[in-house]
Amino acid sequence: MNPAPLKAVVISRNFHPGHYSFLAANYRLFTENNVDTCMLHHALFNGMSVVPPEKVANSFSDLRKFGKPDLAVFWFPSLKNLSDMVRLRLLYGTKIAYVLHEPVESVQSYRKAGFGRARTAIIMLKQMVNYITVLLSHKVILPSAKANATFERNYLHLRKPHLLLPLLFDDEAGHLLAKADRRFISYIGTIAEDHAFDEFVQFALLAMEGHWFPGLTFLIATRSHLPLACQEALESHIQAGSMVVQQGRPMDNDSINQFYNGSIVIWNAYRRSMQSGVLPKAFMFGTPLVVSDGNANEFYENDHHGKCISKAYDMAEIREAISAIVAGFEDYSANCRSTFLTTFYYRTQDSTFLRFLQASSTDRAER
């Protein structure tokens, strides 16, 4: 008689629409490998779910109807994770894996990235929650070389088996738009100090006033609210149609994907990051990126996936970078799409992911 399949739960307790792609990819990876899988996620994800409703729970009590989970994968930080982890371990003996996107760095690194004292203090408090989450986990997954190196520098004393693995995505691209049908130079995602949003806006204003990119439109697509001064500075360009702004509310995954597909280049020139979900999502849609030498990583190759600029954010350098991407779009786009399929598409990582999760906790399945 064949043994019962492994039971697993994929968990994300806070709502961020851009995060759903990871959860869906993890769910599909498990189910395609004979793992009986359910989801425990925020109720606002229900409307964008690709998972059968009977496989979705929105509270820990709802999870009980699925039976004892052998394995749980937590994808994002949340205070609720702590109680979930304790209950899963005590009630069911569940083995817990945590995808740690941002291991804590020094206070100085956040201050240099543009965060004020209050915001930096909040980040450090959140990192305390991350630390306890790692402590309660059996295994940890790190999505970039920088995250892995930071983990080994600051968390190694916890003696948690850990794995360096790129972020997982399903292929949501469908029909890729040709260059002629892409009209946006885009900022997509949260407005944050370390994302150099202010530099993007400054560049966009100069470009629109100087008519640097005829036929193209600037786009800001974010659930954040634009600062009032920024809204006022952009208003005339919004009215003229040279800037499109989607702000102040979460977008569903289809809307987010349409923006990626409609972009000819995407801003990823952050002041710092461990990893960015924007990069693999852009790769998925064959969309080149502008990055900075402050957040370039092992997945991005300059002059192959787009152009890298310096952290000085020289406006002439940014103009030159975007002009080069527009001129060579077809090659950059093909390279981005190829890297998505060989690196971030979940089916290329399924054996590594499963082997690590199923290995004994005493094994160090790192790579």
Domain with 215 in it: what CATH number?
3.40.50.2000
Instruction: Identify the weakest region by mean pLDDT among 29-38, 40-49, 208-217.
Output: 40-49
Whether 25 and 158 map to the same domain: the answer is yes
What residue numbers bound the domain in which 265 lies? Answer: 179-343
State both tokens at 310: 């310096």
Please check whether residue 67 lies inside any domain of the structure. yes
> Is the pLDDT confidence value at 205 over 90?
yes
Say if CB 97 and CB 140 are below 8 A apart.
yes
Say if CB 110 and CB 162 are below 8 A apart.
no
Please check whether residue 366 lies inside any domain of the structure. no
> Is the pLDDT confidence value at 110 over 50?
yes
Say if CB 244 and CB 220 are below 8 A apart.
yes
- Choose between 3 and 137: higher pLDDT: 137
Whether 157 and 185 map to the same domain: the answer is no
Residues 154-164: tens digit of each pLDDT: 899 999 999 99
Q: List CB contacts of 308: < 8 A, sequence separation 6 or more.
A: 290, 291, 292, 293, 296, 300, 302, 321
Cα atoms in the Cβ-side hemisphere of radius 13 Å centred on 176? 17
d(CA 180, CA 184): 11
Whether 317 and 333 map to the same domain: the answer is yes
Task: Place 106 in a pLDDT band, splitting at 50, 70 and 90.
Answer: low
> Is the pLDDT confidence value at 366 over 60?
no
Residue 246 forms beta bridges with which residues?
Answer: 221
Whether 234 and 165 map to the same domain: the answer is no
State both tokens at 198: 């202010």
d(CA 123, CA 314): 29
Nearest Cα to 335, choosing from 292, 367, 288?
288
Whether 201 and 132 map to the same domain: the answer is no
Question: How confident is the prediction for the chain on average, in pLDDT?
Answer: 91
Whether 219 and 149 map to the same domain: the answer is no
Task: Place 362 in a pLDDT band, splitting at 50, 70 and 90.
Answer: very low
Say if CB 144 and CB 298 are below 8 A apart.
yes
The angle that helices 315-327 and 197-210 make with each other, rounded to 10 degrees, is 70
Whether 267 and 328 map to the same domain: the answer is yes
The CA dihedral of 56, 61, 65, 68, to the nearest 10 degrees, is 100
Output DSSP code: residue 166: P
Residue 37 forms beta bridges with which residues?
Answer: 8
Radius of gyration for the alpha carbons in the chain, expressed in angstroms and rounded: 21
Whether 12 and 107 map to the same domain: the answer is yes
Residues 141-152: tens digit of each pLDDT: 999 999 999 999
Please check whether residue 111 lies inside any domain of the structure. yes
Output DSSP code: residue 354: H
Whether 36 and 127 map to the same domain: the answer is yes
Whether 152 and 14 map to the same domain: the answer is yes
**How many Cβ atoms are within 10 Å of 298's Cβ, its own excluded?**
12
> Is the pLDDT confidence value at 355 over 90?
yes
Strands (E), 157-270: 162-164, 184-188, 217-221, 243-246, 263-268
Based on the structure, what is the number of domains in the chain? Answer: 2
Task: Place 2 in a pLDDT band, splitting at 50, 70 and 90.
Answer: low
- Choose between 78 and 105: higher pLDDT: 78
Please check whether residue 2 lies inside any domain of the structure. no
Task: Place 257 in a pLDDT band, splitting at 50, 70 and 90.
Answer: very high
pLDDT at 365: 39
Task: Place 10 in a pLDDT band, splitting at 50, 70 and 90.
Answer: very high
Please check whether residue 365 lies inside any domain of the structure. no
> Is the pLDDT confidence value at 301 over 70?
yes
Whether 354 and 298 map to the same domain: the answer is no
d(CA 307, CA 199): 16
Whether 158 and 184 map to the same domain: the answer is no
Say if CB 4 and CB 34 are below 8 A apart.
no
State both tokens at 270: 């952050």
pTM for this prediction: 0.90
> Is the pLDDT confidence value at 361 over 60?
no
pLDDT at 57: 95
> Is the pLDDT confidence value at 218 over 80?
yes
d(CA 182, CA 321): 17
